[in-house]
Amino acid sequence: MHAAFDVVVAGGRCAGSPLATLLAREGLSVALVDRAAFPSDTLSTHIFQNEGAKVLERLGVLDKVLASGAPWIEGNDARIDGLRTVASIPRRSDDPGTWLCVRRPVLDALLLEAAAEAGVEVHTSTRVTGVVERDGRVSGVRVSGEGGERLLEATLVVGADGRGSAVARSTGARSYNLIPGQRFAIWAYHEGATWSPPATLFFHRWDDELVIACPADSGLFLVVVVPPLERLARFRAGPEAFFEAHVAACEPVAAIVDGGRRVGKLQAMLRWTGYFRESAGPGWALVGDAGHFKDPTPGQGISDALRQAERLASAIVAGMGTTASLDDAMATWWRWRDDDAAEMAWFAGDLGRAGPVPPVLVEILTELAAKGEMGSFLEVMNHRAKPSEVLTPGRLASATGRLLKSGEHPRRQVLRQTKDIMAEEVHRQRLNKHPAYAESGAYEGADTDHEVVVNPT
């Protein structure tokens, strides 16, 4: 296995840069290519959790990230219809902290800097146009940048190049288990917002409304509104008024930003589809959004990308030796990624669903809150408990029983919703084992496009 580089990584944000850093620190020769010039923004809000912060600590960049002024988010103020709970975010003794909200130009530039410091050959403002193959294996990438077109040869090519991955496209990686989004997201920053410690994340979901907000770096306060897709036309007709009206409807968030000043333009992502992609083959692998994207409502993508980078780096180091051992290691990595991400992907789709939250789910959360056990739900966000360990069949049955007894909702509706939840769970478990590929026609009629608008105003 002789090539100019051991590994070429396409994409240099939260998946690509940490991966390149870790590989270079293990003594591998690594090139990283990103079409962006850093510091660079990307279409994403940026709340991440304990496990992601831990990776930043291990990478040695956490102190620089904290120097941005981002406070640890220690509280969670959740409203789910009639339920309102304020809970502390669980923190283990070896956690450097809890959740953070750091704008991407800040976070991604620090990650890329760490890669360069580790000895990675970094090419920014350079686009990967496709992979090249030799003897049935991917053997490098074609890139196009300031110096024109060139070839970067490598034993392994990793696509960390996001949702529109050029590596995925040119290797023909197929998509499976698609989850079309049912909402869109608009966000903005406020200066001079008045909040009192502890820094708290607001997750308010009532009727068909969803507002998420928390303090970010540099004294800014992030507010995200996540309306159902049916309101897109109204948004387009008057983005500013639409955003402000949605913020005003969430009383505690409106009170925090009242008296402050909105800075910068609105940002928006008007459509998304969750997916998994085939993520390994001869001489190539995918990591981060290139291989899997989920509804952004629970804010998992950054921590996932960081955790995946660590896992993939270990797999690559262990697999380097022969092409067979490398291919085996990559196939094992792909299986791990699917196991690791499957439950959260479905759960994220549920959180981002349009329409009212089924009362039986509200009842489960109400019971958890009454027992002071919301921490177990927040551990799902921390990727330390699976949704199925918290939303158990036992809890579903008890919540259904309590709702039937209370007579608050029509009996048939409660029973139907419980039955639907159980049937969906069975269907999902089947899909986890036997994926439905995009090419199979399974999604005919579903809108699985990405439509993206940045700064609509």
Ligand X SMILES: Cc1cc2nc3c(=O)[nH]c(=O)nc-3n(C[C@H](O)[C@H](O)[C@H](O)COP(=O)(O)OP(=O)(O)OC[C@H]3O[C@@H](n4cnc5c(N)ncnc54)[C@H](O)[C@@H]3O)c2cc1C
Least Å distance, CB 365 to ligand X, is 21
Least Å distance, CB 333 to ligand X, is 15
Least Å distance, CB 290 to ligand X, is 6
Task: Pick from 44, 273, 366, 418 the residue near ligand X by CB under 6 A.
Answer: 44
Stretch of residues binding ligand X (CB under 6 A), selected from 5-13, 62-70, 312-320, 349-357 = 5-13
**Using CA atoms, how far apart are residues 160 and 137, in angstroms rounded to an integer?**
19
Closest residue to ligand X, Cβ-based?
301
Task: Please tell me whether residue 269 binds ligand X under the rule CB under 6 A.
Answer: yes
Task: Pick from 9, 23, 24, 34 the residue near ligand X by CB under 6 A.
Answer: 34
Closest CA to 295 of 200, 204, 129, 184: 184
* String of contacts with ligand X for each residue 128-157, x by CB under 6 A: x-----------------------------
Task: Please tell me whether residue 36 binds ligand X under the rule CB under 6 A.
Answer: yes
Task: Please tell me whether residue 7 binds ligand X under the rule CB under 6 A.
Answer: no
Task: Pick from 6, 217, 289, 327 the residue near ligand X by CB under 6 A.
Answer: 289
Task: Please tell me whether residue 21 binds ligand X under the rule CB under 6 A.
Answer: no
Task: Pick from 3, 7, 14, 100 the residue near ligand X by CB under 6 A.
Answer: 14
Task: Please tell me whether residue 296 binds ligand X under the rule CB under 6 A.
Answer: yes
Burial (CB count <10 Å: 0-12, 13-18, 19+), residue 340: middle
Residue 200: HSE in the Cβ half-sphere, 13 Å Cα cutoff = 20
Task: Please tell me whether residue 435 binds ligand X under the rule CB under 6 A.
Answer: no
Stretch of residues binding ligand X (CB under 6 A), selected from 247-255, 295-303, 347-355, 440-448 = 295-303
Q: Which residues bind ligand X (CB under 6 A)?
A: 10-16, 33-36, 42-48, 127-128, 160-162, 164, 166, 185, 269, 272, 288-290, 296, 299-303, 305
